[in-house]
A and B are shown apart, each in its own frame.
Chain A
Amino acid sequence: MGGIFVVVEHRQGKVREITLEMLAKAGEWKNDLGGDLTAVLLGWETGPLIEALKGRADRILVIEDERLKNFEAEVYKLILQQLIQEVHPSLTLIGQTSWGLDLAPCLAVKTGFPLVTDCVELRIEAGRPTALRQMYGGKIFARVSFKESPGYLATIRPGAFSPDPSEDHQTEVIKKQFPAGLPESKKQFLELIESEAGEVDISQADFLVSVGRGVGEEENLALVRELARSLGAVLSCSRPIVDKKWLPKYHQVGTSGKSVKPKVYLALGISGAFQHLAGISGAGTVIAVNKDPRAPIFRVAQYGVAQDLFKIIPALMEQINRN
């Protein structure tokens, strides 16, 4: 049959980046699968969302209802199951996000389709997908195949693909009715909360900007703080910074501080002492900036910049502010 469903993830009136990434890439996969690329949008006040999606898919299936004001996996699951039964897409894509973790597995059980999560690549061979994903926290890559099935489910890792579509689509918008007789959800949204500022738990952060002795004087910390803020990252540091009492203890990374496992660890002016490195062994990608090219941190970092951090930080700020 062919055809790809991309479930549109949106929040606070905006389409999330992961959806655009999936649509852009699915445009390529569709060529191997045949059929149409359909964005499935369930929501309330969907006007702006539809606008954002135009040109990125062949079709936008919209169901607008007040009951869809907030995401509920149960409701989505039931509606999607019906839509899948109607349209028979070969492949249904969901983002590997909080949403996706809630929705994809129960949808898989409901439809009986095989599910592979957190894919960073998909290949379609003879109408069947194989996926590429990571295991052991990124240490191992796995190529996995799906058992033969009328439909396949995959969740896609955010950031794996570019959101820019390779081609423009002629988009048809189809509005459907909210299905009747859906049971009331057992879960009910109450509110969204912004994380508190204040004492932060660096061990749970996804992105850390970390500062070491290379920062020199205490006044220079303000530069690093500003950078972290602009990047939406959490500030952390190595032990000497805490020893000098420039930052409170909860920012410290290392054996006598915290172990961190962010997706990205940007280390500025950190030499890479053993006790510090022990704290970042769980980090996904380490980018180190240190003017000493022989600093030990370059042995464990994935990317290195052997330049003065006082040149790099302003350069970063300039480019961030430009965008």
Chain B
Amino acid sequence: MTVLHPAAERYLNIPGSLIAWILLILALSVFSFSLYRRVLLLLSGQPDPRWGDWKERVRGLLVYGILQKRQPRYFWAGLIHLLIFWGFVVLGLRSLDLIGQGLGGGYALPFLRGGFGVFYGSLKDLFELTVLGACIWAILRRAMIRPARYELENGRGHRWEAYLVLSLIGFLMLTDMFYEGGMLLLSPPAPGWLPAAGLAVSVLSSLDETGVSNVSLLAYWAHYLAFFIFLNFLPLAKHFHILTALPNIYFRKLKKGSLKPVRWGVENLEDLESLGVGRLEDFTWKHLLDLFTCTECGRCSDHCPAKAVGRPLSPKMITLKLRDYVYRKVPVFSLFPWRSDSGGSEGRKEKEGSEAALIGEVITFAEIWSCTTCGACEEECPVFIEYLDKLIDMRRHLIETAQNPKTFNPILTQVEKTGNPFGKPPKKRADWIKEIAEVPVRILKEGDEAEVLYFVDSYASYDPRVQAVALAVVRGLSLAEVDFGILGAREKDSGHQVRRLGEEGLFQLLLEENLEVLQSCRFNQIVTTDPHTFNTLKNDYPGDLPVVHYTQFFRDLLASGRLKPKKIIDGPPIYAYHDPCYLGRHNGIYEAPREILDRLPGVKWVEMARCRDRSFCCGGGDVNLWHEIEGETMRPAARRLEMAREAGVGGIVTACPFCLLNLEDAVKTAGLEKEMKVVDLMELLVSTL
């Protein structure tokens, strides 16, 4: 019996290749249409310049996209995904080959015929088995272990979609195996090692020739069909990420720690009709692309400190609710509406016909204000979905429409009128220096010059507990004989919190005034007490200010020998170091504080279970100071305190005033003042000098 390629056979007198072509054209038409509808959605978004820095972007694509660097952060799930992903990469060629065979009536693609073809044959078989195994493993894992992060908040898991796709992928593997296995049985053995096909051969060998032929044919067309069905399924739900993940990673946000402007390309905010995101069209195209790309893996929510303490926020649900909302607004098929449904009541409401408000109903106020801007979600996401810009854009909208929590009103007015959130008189901003009259602190006036400008910021200037840190900084600078000065009453709040609260107009005001004052003096470096100050001066303020956090500055002083710690510390037996979000995650400064700790004589310290880029936020130095969320079961700092206790330490050392205040508060509330000491790294450092 001559073995014809399935595409060379005739079915009801129609050549197989014709069927292949028809199927191809049909499938690609539908697919193009779906893509077109999705692109339409993207085009309705605001501009977002992601075209520059191509070298960095390509590097990111390779590291995070191809090498999947973030996947193994959850080891087993990561491994499974890596295998399936690389399987797709390798098997892509095979799929093209099979389609090509179909269209061409049975001929393999030219370059797959030589030695490379043999090699590739083995490779693809290996991967087919691997992918099949990985899919089975994934299905079993989902069904038996049921990781909580896969759940949707309302208890529905979307598991059916995951099972469907995993099964479909497995099916694709199997059909190819059986197609090739059948062909192998019917025709002379192909060169090379084909383990997958070989497996199929052993199953099929019990059948007669006709049977094998039928199986092979069936398998081929099943594969062909399944492939195009899978392709067309992609734009409709979470597996769209297969297509959009690489672009999403390419276009990722490069400048961590910064916030997007209210609208890219618009200098004068007064020209804008509205500020922030209040409607679908206010999102940028990249943020809409984010929504296409969510894989529902839940790693973001797993690490969200707000969620961990019972607040209504779940980053994954933010993305999914927004996705469902935009898909409802601009669906692919309006005749047969595919509702990718995360099960929220807004979806039901819209089915009933009324319009759910994007801000307030789809995404509730409580969710928007729950966020501490710690960035843990963005750090985990394997496909680089952005959260902070979206949430803060929504906050901007709420502030402009006066829907913010009223507790902000006096704070913001006080920042505006007195340059600090406490309403304390500006002329008292430098009163704290009187505490160390023996250390001269220069207050820089217009035209003055200093090597280092110490930007103290509001909490260190006015809050007695944080003043202790400022005093320690000044003591340290003085002992190292650094020529430094402070701005005193001319310094205004850096505006970090104000910006992340959504009051962009006030932030711009502070920025302008601070820049003017900074430009009136000459200095080589700015050193800050607070990682938030550091973050905003470095990433939000224009002009490339030469700013470092005190940990970086003092690490250098210690390394160069300008400061020599002598005294041995007499304190808790062991400390745990707590990475502040705006020092660590947002700005990548993990080593400097650790190097300092290592140089302090007598200090024994350990890492907590969640450290470095997985540090657990203390609750924040932003919104959370001035507003409290209903439903919270404990404060994030209390949770962090538990982690410290689990680490068996007697003290926590940190390098941020808000971490200091929040953790100390948690210690007091728990009544553990004798068991757990909380101290700022600068205080610890100075006690050794």
Bound: A255/B424 CA distance, A: 13
Distance A323 CA – B464 CA, assembled complex (angstroms):
43
Query: How far, in angstroms, from A255 to B410 measured CA to CA in the complex?
Result: 10
Stretch at the interface among B195-203, B489-497, B543-551, B620-628: B620-628
From A240, A256, A259, give the contact of B410 (CB < 8 A).
A259
Q: Please indicate the chain B residues that have their CB under 8 angstroms from the CB of A259 in the complex.
A: 410
The digit string for B641-673, where 1 denotes a CB below 8 A from any CB of A, is: 000000000000000000000000100110000
Pairwise interchain contact B635-A274, C-beta atoms closer than 8 A: no
Are the CB atoms of A213 and B668 closer together than 8 Å? yes
Determine if B407 and A256 form an interchain contact, defined as CB atoms under 8 angstroms apart. Answer: yes
A278 and B669 form a contact (CB under 8 A): no
Complex contact A256–B625 (CB within 8 A)? yes
**Chain A residues, CB < 8 A from B434:** none
Q: Are B627 and A256 in contact (CB under 8 A)?
A: yes
Q: A213-B668, A240-B669, A243-B669 are in contact. Are A256 and B463 (CB under 8 A)?
A: no
Q: Which of A213, A256, A281 contacts B626 (CB 8 A)?
A: A256
Q: Given the complex of chains A and B, what is the CA–CA distance between A171 and B623 in angstroms?
A: 65
Residues of B near A274 (CB, < 8 A) are: 463-465
Give the size of the chain B interface in residues (CB under 8 angstroms): 16
User: What CA separation (Å) do A213 and B627 show in the bound complex?
Assistant: 21
B627 and A240 form a contact (CB under 8 A): no
B553 contacts A by Cβ under 8 Å: no
- A213: chain B residues within 8 A (beta carbon): 668
Cβ B626 vs Cβ A249 within 8 A = no
Q: Is A244 an interface residue (CB 8 A)?
A: yes
Complex Cα gap A256–B410 (Å):
11
Tell me the complex Cα distance, A278–B669, Å.
Answer: 19
Q: How far is the CB of B631 from chain A (nearest CB, A)?
A: 12
Contact indicator per residue, chain A 215-240, by CB within 8 Å of chain B (1) or not (0): 00000000000000000000000011
Shortest CB distance B633–A (Å): 10
Residues of B within 8 A of A255 (CB): 411, 422, 625-626
B597 to chain A minimum Cβ distance, whole angstroms, is 28
- Residue contact A249 to B628, C-beta cutoff 8 Å: yes
- Greatest chain B CB density within 10 A among A213, A243, A259 is at A243
Bound-state CA distance A240–B669 (Å) is 6
Q: What residues on B are CB-neighbors of A240 within 8 Å?
A: 668-669
- Bitwise, A270-294 to B at CB < 8 A (1) or not (0) is 0000100010010000000000000
A243, B626: Cβ atoms under 8 Å? no
Chain A residue contacts of B668, Cβ below 8 A: 213, 240
Q: In the assembly, what is the distance between CA of A249 and CA of B669, in Å?
A: 16
In the complex, what residues of B have CB within 8 A of residue A244's CB? 669
Residues of the A chain whose Cβ atoms lie less than 8 Å from the Cβ of B411: 255
Interface flags, A252-278, vs B, CB<8A=1, else 0 = 000110010000000000000010001
Contacts of B669 in A (CB 8 A): 240, 243-244
Q: Which B residues are CB-close (under 8 A) to A243?
A: 635, 669
**Closest CB of chain B to A242's CB: distance in Å?**
8
The distance in angstroms between the C-alpha atoms of A274 and B635, with both chains bound, is 19
Chain A residues contacting B635 (CB-CB under 8 Å) are: 243
Residue of chain B at shortest CB distance from A259 = B410
CA A69 to CA B407, docked complex, whole Å: 43
CA distance A296 to B465 in the complex (A): 12
Point out the residues of chain A lying under 8 angstroms from B628, CB to CB: 249, 256
B 197-223 binary contact with A (CB < 8 Å = 1; else 0): 000000000000000000000000000
Residue of B nearest to A240 (CB): B669
Report A-chain residues with C-beta under 8 Å of the C-beta of B464.
274, 296
Q: Which residues of B contact A249 (CB under 8 A)?
A: 628
Q: Which residues of B contact A278 (CB under 8 A)?
A: 422
Q: Nearest residue in A to B410 (C-beta to C-beta)? A: A259
Per-position binary interface string of chain B over residues 360-397, scored 1 when its CB falls under 8 Å from any chain A CB and 0 otherwise:
00000000000000000000000000000000000000
Q: State in angstroms the CA–CA spacing of A244 and B634 once bound together.
A: 9
Contact residues in B for A256 (Cβ distance below 8 Å): 407, 625-628
Instruction: Name B426-469 residues within 8 Å CB distance of A.
Output: 463-465
A189, B463: Cα distance in complex, Å: 50
Chain B 394-435 interface mask (CB, 8 Å, partner A; 1/0): 000000000000010011000000000011000000000000
How many whole Å from B338's CB to the nearest CB in chain A? 44
Which residues of chain A come closer than 8 Å to B463, judged between CB atoms? 274
User: Nearest-CB distance from B130 to chain A (Å)?
Assistant: 52
Which residues of chain B have C-beta atoms less than 8 A from A281's C-beta? 423
CB distance from B314 to the nearest CB of A (A): 23
Q: Who on chain B is nearest to A244 by CB?
A: B669
User: Chain A: which residue is nearest B635 at the CB level?
Assistant: A243
Q: Note all chain A residues with C-beta closer than 8 A to B627.
A: 256
B642 shortest CB reach to chain A, Å: 15
* Interface, chain A (partner B; CB < 8 A): 213, 239-240, 243-244, 249, 255-256, 259, 274, 278, 281, 296
Given contacts A213-B668, A256-B625, list 4 more A-B pairs with CB under 8 A. A255-B422, A256-B626, A274-B463, A274-B464
Closest 6 A/B residue pairs (Cβ): A243-B669, A274-B463, A240-B669, A274-B464, A256-B628, A278-B422
